[in-house]
Structures are given as C-alpha cells and as structure tokens.
Amino acid sequence: MMADQPPQPLLDSPSGDFASGQNFWHMEYMEPGLIQGSKITRVIFDGQSAYQATQIIDTTAFGRTLVLDGKVQSSEVDEWVYHEALVQPVMLAHAAPKRVFIAGGGEGATAREVLRHKGVTECVMVDLDEEVVELCKEHLPNHHQGAFDDPRLTVLFADAIAYLRDNPEPFDVLIIDVSDPLEGGPAYLLYTQEFYAMAASRLAPGGIIVTQSGPCGPTNVTEVFSAINKTMGAALGETSPYRVYIPSFGTMWGFIAAGLPDSPSVAGATSAQIDERVATRLSAPLKYYDGVAHQGMVSLPKYLRAALDAERRIITDATPLYAV
Amino acid sequence: MMADQPPQPLLDSPSGDFASGQNFWHMEYMEPGLIQGSKITRVIFDGQSAYQATQIIDTTAFGRTLVLDGKVQSSEVDEWVYHEALVQPVMLAHAAPKRVFIAGGGEGATAREVLRHKGVTECVMVDLDEEVVELCKEHLPNHHQGAFDDPRLTVLFADAIAYLRDNPEPFDVLIIDVSDPLEGGPAYLLYTQEFYAMAASRLAPGGIIVTQSGPCGPTNVTEVFSAINKTMGAALGETSPYRVYIPSFGTMWGFIAAGLPDSPSVAGATSAQIDERVATRLSAPLKYYDGVAHQGMVSLPKYLRAALDAERRIITDATPLYAV
Amino acid sequence: MMADQPPQPLLDSPSGDFASGQNFWHMEYMEPGLIQGSKITRVIFDGQSAYQATQIIDTTAFGRTLVLDGKVQSSEVDEWVYHEALVQPVMLAHAAPKRVFIAGGGEGATAREVLRHKGVTECVMVDLDEEVVELCKEHLPNHHQGAFDDPRLTVLFADAIAYLRDNPEPFDVLIIDVSDPLEGGPAYLLYTQEFYAMAASRLAPGGIIVTQSGPCGPTNVTEVFSAINKTMGAALGETSPYRVYIPSFGTMWGFIAAGLPDSPSVAGATSAQIDERVATRLSAPLKYYDGVAHQGMVSLPKYLRAALDAERRIITDATPLYAV
Amino acid sequence: MMADQPPQPLLDSPSGDFASGQNFWHMEYMEPGLIQGSKITRVIFDGQSAYQATQIIDTTAFGRTLVLDGKVQSSEVDEWVYHEALVQPVMLAHAAPKRVFIAGGGEGATAREVLRHKGVTECVMVDLDEEVVELCKEHLPNHHQGAFDDPRLTVLFADAIAYLRDNPEPFDVLIIDVSDPLEGGPAYLLYTQEFYAMAASRLAPGGIIVTQSGPCGPTNVTEVFSAINKTMGAALGETSPYRVYIPSFGTMWGFIAAGLPDSPSVAGATSAQIDERVATRLSAPLKYYDGVAHQGMVSLPKYLRAALDAERRIITDATPLYAV
C-alpha cells in the first residue's frame, strides 16, 4: 500500500517567490514506459563539455544535482548513500589501504570518501572530462566538501585505462566510478574481462577493486549488474556483490568488489571488524555505512542471487553488452 | 553513475499494434516535486467504489496494476516482493501459526502468502471495500492465484477495528495491510497506540502483529515509518522494523512487527531457522524471502536506525500524524 | 503576453471527490518536442476496433473526447467549431443541396450539421469502422444529438472510395471527414489527385466537395494543408481554403472546398447571402458560423497565402506525402 | 480529425549530439487540466529579476523563448504574429502616427514594429524591469532586430501609469503590452476604466490605444478578453476587438483597440487602404498582416461576438477581475 501524499501542484504559484516562477522539469526515462519527473527550481549550468551534455540543477526533490547526457549522476540528498557504498566497504575490508586509484569520480565525492581515511597517503583520480570536474568544483561544494584541496589527491584528466596501462606502480584499492557498460557509451571498456585482468596486475598484495555496477532491482537486475558480476568473477575469482537504494536513480543500485586470491573478502567482513575500523581509521563519521548496514547491503534477496547464478554473459572488449 | 538507457519514445508508433494507440499515462506524485509517470497500455477498469476511486490498468513498466485514489497499490512485477515481505517474516518467526487475521489485503495476495503455510487452519480477512475485492478477484488472477477459493479463507466486508473489538477469539498472527496513517485517510485508526493495545489483546500466546509502514528511504523515512515504529514500541515493547525496495512505489518500503512479551523476535530470527521452516512449512517456494534475504531486510543502514532512535511522535486516536 | 492562470495542481486531492482519485493523463505529441497533456477524469471506453485503437474519455479541459490511435479526434467543448466549419460553408454556398455524401464522420456530428438543413433529402455516410460508430452512438450523445435516428441518413460501413466508384448517382455535396493523408494511414487515398478527379465525376451540377485538411498554423501549414490545396487545385480548379482554431487539436485547423467549373465559390460567398440562407434553410441555429464568421475564416494571413502559393507538391496514389 | 504525426521520442538519444543530452521540459498549464509541454534544447538564462522569475530558453517547437514567472511571453517562431497583430492594425489605421508610447514590450519587438514606420519620429517605451530588457537585448536578437539602437526610441525603466500621469504631452498611438489583468499581477491597473480614461487624455486628436487582451478561444474568451472589451467600451466608446492564433500561447489571442470619438476605426479599415499604407509607410515588409489578413482578424465568430455582447463586467481600480 502506498502512503497518502498531500496533493502537490505541478506548477507553483506565479505570484509567489522565485521557485514559483519555474516550470522546468527534468524528465528522465528509468526504463521503457517509466518516467521520473523532477521539478527544477534553478538551472545552475547548462552546456556541453568536450565529452558530454552537462547540467547542474537544483531540484525540489533531490537538491543540487549533476546531470550528464540527460541522466542524473548524483544528487545532494542521496550522493552520500552512493559514495559511502562505493568506497567504504572495500576501504574498510582492506587491511591498510594507502594508495587508492579512482577512475571517474568527477564530483569529488568519491575522493572525499577515500580521503576520510587517515591512513591513505595518496589518491590518484583519473577523469576524462576536465570541464565537468571544474564545474563540480565550483557548483557542487556539498559533494566534494573540499576534497580537491587535499594534498594527498592528484587529479588527472586522461583515459583511466591508458593511465593504468602506462603506470605499473600498484594500488591498494581501485575504484571504478564511471558510466555503465553499454556499447557506445564512453566507459564500457572499463567493464570487460580484459580490463579486470589488467587491473588485477595493478593491485598490490591484498588489494581490492570495486566498481559501480548499475541497477539491480527486480525489474532490471539483468540489465548490466549480473553480467558485470559474472565478468569480474571470470577475471578475478570470488566477487562481493552488494546494493543500496538511491532515490534519485529511482532504483536499487549495485556494486561489485573483488580482489586478488589472498585479498580479504568484502562481503565476508564482520560487523564488529567494520565498526572497529570505522572508529580508528576515519577522520569523520559516516551516515549510511557501518557494521549493521554492511549486512543489509551484502545479504541479497533470493531473486537477486538467482539472477547472479543464472548469468552466463562475460563482457569482453570484443563482445560488449548489447552488441547486435 | 547512472546506466545509459536506450532512448524510449513517450508515444508509440500510431501505425503499430494496439499498444501503439495508447497515449495514457498514470502520473503520480511520489513526493513534492517528484512525479513517477507510467505508460498505460490498457485500462481494464475505471470507476468509483463506495469508498475509493478504483482503477485496474496494464502498464509497460509494472504489468497489471491496482490503483486506488490515484495511487499505485500493487503491481504484477513486484507485488511478490511486497507480499512476501509483509507476511513471511512473521509467519516464519512464529512457532506454529494456525489462525491468522488480515486487515485489508483486497488483492488476495496477502492471503495467498498466508495460505502457502500448510499449518494454517483459518485465515480471516476483513476488508472494507467489497467492490474492490470483487474487481481484484476478476482482474488480478496473478495476484491472488486462487487464494479466494481456499476453504481456510473467510473474507468479510467490514471495519477491521470493529471486527477485532467484537470478536475476542485470539489469532496467532495479525497482518495490517491498509493505507497509511495520514489523517483523513480511511485507515489511520489502525496505526494508533490504542489500536495496537487492543490488537495485543487479540493475540494468542506467542502471537505477532505486523503492519505495512510506509516509505523509509533517505528522503521519506520520517514521513510515517519512524512514528509507526515509535507507536508500536510504546504499545507493545520491542519492534522489528525492516524494509524492501518496491519499484512501483518508487522507494524503499517499511514494515514493522511486534509481539507479546514472550513472542519470538522477528528481526532476531536466524537464517538457518528461517530456511529450515521455509523448507518444511510451505506448500510452494518463495521468490524474495529466505534466511539470507532476511538479514538484508532487518539490517538497517545507519541513517535509518538514527531516524528511528530520534523519533518522539506517538500516534494516538486523538493525535494522528499531520494533525494541524 | 500570456494571461496569468491561477496555479493548478497536477494531481487532485486524494481526500476529495471521485475526480480526485484520477491521475491519468492523455499525453499527445502535437509536433516534435511539443506535448499536449490533458487530464482524464474518467475512462469511458478503452479498446481496439478492427481498424484502430479506440478510447472515449472525459477530460477536465475538453469534456467527452474521442481518441483514435492515440490522437484526439473531437471533443465536446469544441466539436461544434470543427463540424460547423467542415459542413456549413459548402452547404450554404451551394444553391440548394439535397443529396449529401460523407466519408468518415463516425461521431455523427458531421451528419448532424448536414441534417440541420431542411432541404436535404438524403445523406449517405460511409465510414469504415462500425465498432467506432456504435461506440459514438452510445457514448457521444452530445456529438450526434440524435442524428443517427434521422430517416434521411443512411450509414454504411464500407470503403468510401469503393462506394463512390461503384455508385454513380451524383451528390450535391461531398464531405471528406477522415484522417490526414500520411502514407500508411488508412485514408491517404482520399486526398489524391485521382480521388478528386473521381469525386468530381460524382458531383451533380453545381456540386461542391470539401475536405478537412489538417493543421495550418505558422509552424505546420506545410505539413499537409498546402499540399492538399495544391492537389485539389490541380484536379478541380479554384479552391477555397479556410481555417478555424480547434483547442483540443492544439492548433489552427484547415479545410479546403472546391467544385465543378460552374459551381459557386465557397470563399466568395457574401455575408448577406450566408445570413439569409442560415435564416431560411436551417432547422436550428449555429454557434460559430455566420456571414461575419465566414469572412474571418476565408481571409487568410499573409504567411498562409504565401505558403499556399509556394506549394508545388501534388498528392497522387503513387506519390503520397512523406513517401521516401 | 487529427493529422497523424510521426511518433516523437520524449527523450533524445544519449549518444547523439548536444540536444540529445537535454531532458528538460517547460511544462505550463494553459488552463485547468491542460498542460503544454515544450522540450528545452538549451537554457540560455535562468534567474530572478527584481520583479519576476526570468528564463530564456531554446525549445524544439518554438525556438528562442522568453519565459516570465513560468509563462511563455514570446517565442521566435511566432512572435511576429503577436507583434504585428499588436502594433500594425492601429498604426496603419491612424492617419499619420508620429509619437508612439509603449507600456511594457521588453523584448524590443513591439518597438521594432513601431519603428518600421518611416513616419514615426519618437517612440517612448516604458518597461518596469530593466534586467529583463537587458537580457532581451543580449539574448533575443531575432526579436528586437536592432530596434534598441534606433535613435527614435527612448527606453525608460519606470511605471507606465506614473509616466503617463506625469507627462501630459500627447501621443498618437498608445500600445499596452503588459501581463494580463489578474489581481495580484503587476499590471492589472493598466486594464481599468480609470486607466483608459487617463490614457484617453494622453491621446492626440485622432489617436488610438491598443492593448493585448488575453486568450479568446472557445474555452477561455470570458477569462479576461470580454471584460477588457467591456471596460474599454465604457471608457472610450466603440472598440475594435480582434484576434490571431499564437502557437506558443496554445490558443487564440485577443487584442482590443479604441480611440477618441473622432479617431479612425481600426476594425473598419478597408483592405485597400491597409495595403496602400503598408506599401508607402513601412521600411520593411510584414509577414502576417495586410488587407486580407485584417479582415480575418476582425471578423469574429458568432460565439465570440455573443460573449462580448453578454459581458457586463467593468474592471476598475477597486474591482479588478477575480477579486473575491
């Protein structure tokens, strides 16, 4: 049963304050026949970078929001769910992460979560799109919270695959925070068996890689999530799939971690261990993640485990998802 | 980061098949400034019962869907998530449930989940709206799956509170499957401290009550969920709050269970116990719930536990939520 | 400058009356990037005839509305504008129309306008879709206003072209009230040079043909209107193009009349003649059309006359519009 | 019958060009239960002036568009219809207009139409909102077409009523191009009997005043149009109401002119006179207006004349429209 909501006008009063005069909506397809319409209260930026259409908007439901190529990337009201979920399970499962690599992560919030770890000595973030990163620096202060000023952070504007290929120095944690692996998108090569094999060679002993892995609700778990899990498993062995709910994405969102044969299991971390490490390693408290939340994230419902078990697709450079 | 979705037309081709000729959309506010628009492929029924505006529609994203007073109640693609989550945790935590009471549950799917238990001897379902129940019987066969024909089920069209007040014979499990407790709605009296006290007096030893409890995502957990939890706690003692993601509701959805002082804890059930009982008690397999899924449902993220801890509102007959 | 409108809620109050419980909208593209969204208050019928997806709905803005293949065909609040504009200029320009032919006209409102003429002895209406006509009879009483019961009316369910080809008895007036001539649509063969030549052979001396001719606003006049005008001119000689504004179509709507060489000019009718004939020929008053309104309809703005002058396309059976 | 439109995607392809990445829509209520949704391809400006929320957008359907307080003010594809209709009938009916006053007219297109007259020696434009005028100068070049640089134009940022009250020097033509007279809006005092009486005192012999007068389609003619006509008639005597269709306003739009007792009638101008004056007085050709178009604008349909005849409301400073 649905909660009764007080009725909401589509358009605010024209005689009221500023927000009243805005009749703009961000209308985004979540899947065929399903639109999420979000009322815009202010357009902060609308333009085109060298790589993608870029908007920064304030919305009634989600606050300050980054939109790339017409799709919400992260919003003020729930980016902390996404970024804690992406970063903290692997960082806290790792024995002592010092060097961390981020592919993508333009908003600076992924770096923020990494740099919250006092033990981190170096974080290298490689994002393709300098213009978007500059816009995020200026307009998303609640996302990055000053992370770009941390001397431990190096931001490079380059291709993440090329960077890893050309720089053999190993990392303790690799974090892949780029668009989903649909053919034609800029980022599918970061989801292939070949990439995971190369990435493994850039992990220091005990190292772990984690990747955002797309939607994983009852209606969309096989879109990309199950295939990424199968592919990581083929390249790296045991995986730790987990998920959280992200309101502005309109669905459950999946993440998958995996490591070298001797690396610690992310899914297998105990609540006690997590809470102890949160208490000693971090310079600021978390809002979503702790030992209890961890069990909620990794304890998957039956249908989701079944979908993972049934998956047979392995993504390769030559056979991306959705190739015809 | 969002998954790239192939672009979807708002309107289908006028020269194609039947679905092409439909330009109807169900546009529902999820919260202020946030609309979920779902494309209708066929309107099965549109009318007004004695109690509520009633529609049954087929939609592209959610299949056959029941809509009451403009709000999605349950849909074919995810009703099993909702109904397993509502029914199975309490039924499987209970030592041996025989007599079960359902308030609401018009679609017949709540009864279906109850009757899946071989040990149940009697299920009494009390719903106010006979017309809606008849429509569900006819048009939602995938919801009820024949549950209305089970001789163990008694369906009464009456006020659930009056029924419980007038019938002292105790039940093992009480399931509250009605609209949320917003003042003015028909059902808020089923969410008050007074109701829970009366309900407790209708529980047999070891009995448990569970109620659907509204949305509990990062943006809406304090709307009703935390107040229901606080109120149940005030009336019944320890509660077991938990949640699942329901796509057609566009958010995480909460449930809260509580029992008599000696009743088993729902949240505290072990995975092994749950799996053992699923194997022995049920006449048909589940799709969402099992021992692992249980841990995912009851292991709440930090922000959600904090919201429950911070809640001070207790709903009473005299002080419903949203009273001015 | 736009009129200030009081703000309107997208969704009505869930605690109010029946209309409150309806969140259905008819969302129709008017042209690329332009949607007209009309709130549905009740779905009267939703189904599929042998020929087309068919809906009859009540809407807040337009009242009872017929929708075919996803597109509004006519609505209660403005069908009188459309049907008077389609029928009365030719009927009143003709010296004394007795036998009238209608192609299409399923709602019965075109026949209603014809039968308003006391001098008409016979009206033959040929519509392809019997199911739609039966639905209109039942559900659109304010459209047909009993016209189907007039003994002068013969309704046939057949192909209008075949009927005219096989029945040589001439008519005084031919009225073409079918969908626009886009290739693939069922009706484009009623807009070709060949059709107009055949139709001319079915006109009695002094006879006139008129056809609905699609949108003719500043943004869409060349879509089909100018090509139909050019084609009728090629087949029949001088044409009388004219237009009115139809709110539910979201644009200006065009009509074109033409006759045999000795037939009276429709555009050239004087206001005095029209008013005199309205007074003597009709059994009931009109709401839109009279001598003054006529001048407003036929006196086209400069851009529209320029578009008609510039048009070179002639629609033929072999070269319909939009052929690739 | 509606024209078949090829189906249009709500969202463009994310892999295409810039426009593909835009999922913003301007959603504006035209009347209760009726939304016009226009796809935005680029947000040029979004901000708040001292007086009103202000946006300048590019849209698929209407090109460059000015939006104030959430409502479309004028768009590139049809502003010429509006501005010719507002300005040219009175300018060409007047014997020899030299001094012209414009209230409002921020886009500069009203001035453009005035300055097209070679005989005009001075045009005074008084608009309240300097910020909006500056934005129009910069971003609406196709609207003003350099009019702001014409030395005959004086632009003042002030209250138009105060200006006329304090400056007794008479004008040949007064043009009122401000928002509609709904109470609470900034401009209703420019639609009252008192204003028209004062304005008459600022007309030189033979002078004429014209005002934009809101929607006048079958569904909205009595909203403000008929009341403005009644009020002007009460203050000034005979009026000349007329209308054109403006696509971006989604309806027919009305204008009303009136003069001193000896001023020429606007509605009564002959086509020959208009065409002769267009040929001799203007420095550049028109696109909408000429002698024939004039007859189409002033020859009102029967329902519209009936609504004007039936109107009894007179707007005064003390009794604005929609006062409770």
Sign of the torsion angle spanned by Cα atoms C92, C93, C94, C96: positive
pLDDT above 70 for A255: yes
* Residue of chain A nearest D47, judged by CA positions: A42
Angle at D263 (CA atoms; ends D258, D264), nearest 5 degrees: 85
Chain C residues in contact with A10 by the CB 8 A cut-off are 8-11
Residue A149 to chain D, least CA–CA distance (Å): 30
Instruction: Name the stretches of chain C with pLDDT < 70.
Output: 1-21, 182-186, 322-324
pLDDT above 70 for D81: yes
Chain A residues in contact with C5 by the CB 8 A cut-off are 14
pLDDT above 90 for A207: yes
Q: Which of C4, C13, C71, C248 to mutate to test the interface with D (most CBs of D within 10 A)?
A: C4
Question: Among residues 51-70 of chain C, which lie with CB inside 8 Å of chain B?
Answer: 52-55, 67-70
CA C157 to each of CA B195, C160, D154: distance values in angstroms, whole numbers, following the listed order:
63, 9, 67
DSSP class of B9: B
Residue C15 to chain A, least CA–CA distance (Å): 9
* Residue of chain A nearest B58, judged by CA positions: A33
Give the H or E element holding residue A294.
helix A291-298
Structure ipTM: 0.92
Residue A268 near residue A245, CB atoms below 8 Å: no
Q: Which of D68, D69, D73 to mutate to test the interface with A (most CBs of A within 10 A)?
A: D69
CB pairs under 8 A between A and B: 224
Chain D residues in contact with A7 by the CB 8 A cut-off are none
Choose, from D177, D275, D290, D317, the residue flagged as catalytic.
D177
Q: Are C179 and D4 in contact (CB < 8 Å)?
A: yes
Q: Name the nearest CA neighbour of A113 among A246, A250, A284.
A: A284
Chain B residues in contact with D12 by the CB 8 A cut-off are 7
The pLDDT of residue D6 is 34
Half-sphere exposure of B89 (CA within 13 A, CB side): 36
C38 closest CB neighbour out of D34, D178, D290 = D34
Spatial CB neighbours of C29, under 8 Å, sequence gap ≥ 6? B10, B11, C35, D5, D7, D8
Quickly state the pLDDT bin for A270 (edges 50, 70, 90): very high
The pLDDT of residue C181 is 75
Lowest mean pLDDT among A201-215, B130-144, C174-188, D145-159: C174-188
Q: Are D9 and B9 in contact (CB < 8 Å)?
A: yes
Q: Judging by DSSP bridges, how do beta strands D251-259 and D203-215 pair with one another? A: antiparallel
Residue D1 touches partner B, C-beta closer than 8 Å: no
Chain B residues in contact with D60 by the CB 8 A cut-off are none
Quickly state the pLDDT bin for D322 (edges 50, 70, 90): low
Q: Which of A1, A4, A11 to mutate to test the interface with C (most CBs of C within 10 A)?
A: A11
Residue B23 to chain C, least CA–CA distance (Å): 5
The pLDDT of residue C11 is 32
* Residue of chain A nearest C12, judged by CA positions: A7
The pLDDT of residue C179 is 86
The pLDDT of residue C322 is 65
Main-chain phi, psi angles of D279, to 5 degrees: -65, -30
Q: How many CB atoms lie within 10 A of CB D2?
A: 26
Sign of the torsion angle spanned by Cα atoms C246, C248, C251, C256: negative
pLDDT above 80 for D40: yes
In this prediction, residues B140-149 reach a mean pLDDT of 97
Q: In terms of DSSP H, where are the helices of B77-189? A: 79-93, 109-115, 130-139, 141-144, 160-166
The pLDDT of residue C39 is 93
B302 closest CB neighbour out of A180, A185, A293 = A293
Q: Are C288 and D303 in contact (CB < 8 Å)?
A: yes
Lowest mean pLDDT among A250-254, C152-156, D179-183, D262-266: D179-183
Q: In terms of DSSP H, where are the helices of chain C? A: 79-93, 109-115, 130-139, 141-144, 160-166, 193-200, 225-236, 271-281, 291-298, 302-310
E strand map for D6-144: 24-31, 34-48, 53-59, 63-68, 71-75, 99-104, 122-127
Residue B38 to chain D, least CA–CA distance (Å): 13
| Secondary structure of residue B283 in the 3-state scheme | coil
- Between D181 and C282, the higher pLDDT residue: C282
* Residue of chain C nearest D293, judged by CA positions: C301
The pLDDT of residue C320 is 84
Amino acid, single-letter form, for residue D78: D
Q: In terms of DSSP H, where are the helices of chain B? A: 79-93, 109-115, 130-139, 141-144, 160-166, 193-200, 225-236, 271-281, 291-298, 302-310
For residue D155, the cross-strand partners are D125
What is this structure's pTM? 0.91
A53 closest CB neighbour out of D20, D184, D185 = D20
Alpha-carbon span D100 to D91, nearest angstrom: 9
Alpha-carbon span C183 to B70, nearest angstrom: 39
pLDDT above 90 for B164: yes
The pLDDT of residue D187 is 82
Alpha-carbon span C122 to C301, nearest angstrom: 37
Choose, from C58, C177, C180, C290, the residue flagged as catalytic.
C177
Q: Which residues of A are catalytic?
A: 177
Alpha-carbon span C292 to C279, nearest angstrom: 14
Q: How many CB atoms lie within 10 A of CB A96?
A: 11
The pLDDT of residue D114 is 98
CB pairs under 8 A between A and D: 98
CB pairs under 8 A between B and D: 28
Alpha-carbon span C123 to D17, nearest angstrom: 54
The string of pLDDT tens digits covering residues A271-313 is: 999 999 999 999 999 999 999 999 999 999 999 999 999 999 9
Neighbors of chain B by Cβ distance (3+ pairs < 8 Å): A, C, D
The pLDDT of residue D4 is 36
A7 closest CB neighbour out of C4, C5, C14 = C14
Helix, strand, coil % in chain A, rounded to nearest 5: 30, 30, 35
The string of pLDDT tens digits covering residues B14-26 is: 333 333 467 899 9
In this prediction, residues B183-191 reach a mean pLDDT of 76
Alpha-carbon span D77 to D112, nearest angstrom: 16
Give the distance from CA B45 to its chain's centroid: 22
The pLDDT of residue D29 is 87
Sign of the torsion angle spanned by Cα atoms C10, C15, C17, C21: positive
3-state SS string for D17-39? CHHHHCCEEEEEEEECCEEEEEE
Q: Are C293 and D286 in contact (CB < 8 Å)?
A: no
Instruction: State both tokens at A145.
Output: 């919270």
Q: How many CB atoms lie within 10 A of CB B202?
A: 18
The pLDDT of residue A184 is 57
pLDDT above 90 for B276: yes
Question: Among residues 9-38 of chain D, which lie with CB inside 8 Å of chain B?
Answer: 9-15, 20
DSSP class of D117: B
In this prediction, residues A64-82 reach a mean pLDDT of 95
Residue B237 touches partner C, C-beta closer than 8 Å: no
Q: How many CB atoms lie within 10 A of CB D69?
A: 26
The pLDDT of residue D269 is 97
Q: Are B302 and A294 in contact (CB < 8 Å)?
A: no
Main-chain phi, psi angles of C47, to 5 degrees: -165, -170
DSSP string of D291-321, one letter each residue: HHHHHHHHS--HHHHHHHHH------SSS-B
Residue B163 to chain C, least CA–CA distance (Å): 25
Residue A9 to chain C, least CA–CA distance (Å): 4
Chain D residues in contact with B12 by the CB 8 A cut-off are 7
pLDDT above 80 for D19: no
Residue C256 to chain A, least CA–CA distance (Å): 39
Main-chain phi, psi angles of C177, to 5 degrees: -125, 65
Q: What is the mean pLDDT of chain D?
A: 91
For residue D208, the cross-strand partners are D173, D259
Instruction: State both tokens at D312.
Output: 């009894």
The pLDDT of residue D320 is 84
Angle at B129 (CA atoms; ends B124, B130), nearest 5 degrees: 75
Quickly state the pLDDT bin for D21 (edges 50, 70, 90): low
The string of pLDDT tens digits covering residues A154-166 is: 999 999 999 999 9
Q: Are D70 and A35 in contact (CB < 8 Å)?
A: no
Alpha-carbon span D236 to B183, nearest angstrom: 55
pLDDT above 90 for D31: no
Residue A39 touches partner C, C-beta closer than 8 Å: no
Main-chain phi, psi angles of C307, to 5 degrees: -65, -40
Residue D302 touches partner C, C-beta closer than 8 Å: yes
Alpha-carbon span D52 to C92, nearest angstrom: 51
